[in-house]
């Protein structure tokens, strides 16, 4: 039996399990649909998945870290708001799972885990300060100083997806209007892809020259770049890091993104001192990020 920490990435539609042992992060991760989680009792559902995962691999689970896509409470033990998986709200996830599995369990914002992973083993290795933006289904922001995340008074600071970006009245999933996510995130791309009949994975490849979609994708890119510039102008980090499924899609207009981003930075600093880097570890960054927590 191998002693290992289990890392869970809790997404809207799937949860992914991986583990960390003395040999390092697991090579492959297991992806499970979260339908059962939405229908049933969440602690029992997750505990069973962890036990099955450990049994198949002959692991002795020494701790669990869960990367959560929702707004956690200040102690990082439960969800304050979880629009995608509403039955997690108010559930004492950390203590309940800890009792069920007999080991320490802690939650962390999924975005923090990703950036901590890039800081430990990826594109932002060891830098003193880094501001990260990850664009997937939604948009998340985070800031690390010497590897430690800035949390604000609530534990859930840096909701970059919900900064106001335009004034056209588009409604965001959070209930507010004109949030960044109402204009620029993976969900928006999925809607546009359906509208024009292009596979979402090829939306930049086929869409940038499309007469109506092209300009929208340009504005989409600029909105994301402005949001990152806002974060960088506020925090003045040494490095800004961009990652997530959307920016890793084929033909994502990186050049346009970089141009808009630097055009909005305050000069001479942070404009002349900042390095902009792209994430290198993909979703596996959370495994590396959890290494310091288990």
Name the residue nearer to Zn ion (CB basis): 63 or 138: 138
Least Å distance between CB 113 and Zn ion?
Answer: 22
CB of 179 to Zn ion, least distance (A): 3
Strands of the sheet with 275-278, listed across from one edge: 148-149, 139-145, 129-135, 239-243, 275-278
Judged by CB under 5 A, the stretch of 14-22, 93-101, 179-187, 200-208 that binds Zn ion is 179-187
d(Cα 101, Cα 266) in Å, to the nearest integer?
50
Angle between helix 213-235 and helix 186-196 axes, rounded to 10 deg: 170
- Residue 110 Cβ vs Zn ion, minimum distance, rounded to whole Å: 17
* Binding track over 20-59 against Zn ion, x by CB under 5 A: ----------------------------------------
Closest CA to 291 of 6, 1, 2, 59: 6
Q: Judged by CB, which is closer to Zn ion: 12, or 292?
A: 12
Q: Which of residues 110-169 bind Zn ion (CB under 5 A)?
A: 162
CB of 156 to Zn ion, least distance (A): 13
Q: Is the peptide bond before 270 cis (omega within 30 degrees of 0)?
A: yes
Instruction: Give the residue with the Cβ less far from Zn ion, 59 or 179.
Output: 179
Using CB under 5 A, count the residues that bind Zn ion.
5
At closest approach, how far in Å is the CB of 165 from Zn ion? 10
Tell me how far, at minimum, the Cβ of 293 lies from Zn ion, in Å.
Answer: 28
Q: How far apart are CA 65 and CA 6, in angstroms?
A: 6
CA angle 89, 95, 98 (to 5 degrees): 125
Strand partners, 5: 20, 63
Told to check if 242 binds Zn ion by CB under 5 A, we report no
Q: Which is nearer to Zn ion, 103 or 170 (CB)?
A: 170
Interface with Zn ion (CB under 5 A), residue from 55, 176, 212, 275: 176
Four-residue CA torsion sign, 248, 141, 144, 286 = negative
Q: Which is nearer to Zn ion, 66 or 179 (CB)?
A: 179
Which positions from 191 to 210 touch Zn ion by CB under 5 A, shown as an x/- string? --------------------
Give the phi and the psi of residue 146 in degrees, each rounded to 5: 45, 40
Q: Which of 172, 184, 224, 290 binds Zn ion (CB under 5 A)?
A: 172
Q: How far is the CB of 102 from Zn ion (least distance, A)?
A: 38
Asked if residue 174 binds Zn ion (CB under 5 A), the reply is yes
* Residue 92 or 173 having the CB closest to Zn ion: 173
Residue 179 interacts with Zn ion (CB under 5 A): yes or no = yes
Residues that bind Zn ion (CB under 5 A): 162, 172, 174, 176, 179
């Amino acid at each position: 039996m191998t002693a290992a920490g289990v890392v869970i990435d809790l997404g809207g539609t799937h949860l992914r399990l991986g583990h960390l042992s003395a040999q390092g992060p697991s090579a492959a991760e297991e992806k499970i649909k979260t339908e059962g989680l939405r229908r049933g009792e969440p602690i029992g559902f997750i505990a069973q998945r962890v036990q099955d995962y450990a049994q198949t691999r002959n692991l002795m689970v020494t701790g669990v870290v869960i990367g959560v896509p929702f707004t956690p409470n200040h102690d990082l033990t439960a969800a304050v708001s979880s629009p995608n998986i509403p039955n997690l709200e108010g559930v004492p996830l950390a203590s309940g799972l800890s009792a069920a599995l007999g080991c320490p369990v802690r939650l962390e914002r999924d975005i923090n885990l990703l950036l901590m992973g890039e800081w430990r083993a990826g594109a932002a290795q060891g830098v003193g300060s880094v501001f990260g933006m990850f664009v997937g289904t939604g948009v998340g922001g985070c800031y690390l100083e010497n590897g430690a995340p800035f949390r604000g008074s609530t534990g859930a600071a840096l909701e970059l997806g919900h900064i106001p970006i335009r004034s056209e009245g588009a409604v965001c999933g959070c209930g507010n209007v004109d949030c960044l996510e109402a204009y620029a995130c993976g969900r928006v791309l999925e809607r546009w892809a359906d509208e024009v009949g292009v596979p979402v994975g090829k939306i930049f490849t086929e869409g940038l020259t499309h007469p109506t979609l092209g300009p929208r994708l340009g504005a989409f890119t600029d909105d994301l770049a402005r949001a990152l510039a806002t974060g960088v102008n506020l925090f003045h980090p040494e490095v800004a890091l961009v990652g997530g499924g959307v920016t890793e899609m084929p033909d994502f207009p990186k050049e346009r993104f970089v141009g808009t981003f630097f055009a909005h930075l305050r000069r001479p600093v942070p404009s002349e001192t900042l390095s902009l880097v792209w994430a290198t570890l993909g979703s596996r960054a959370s495994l590396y990020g959890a290494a310091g927590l288990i």
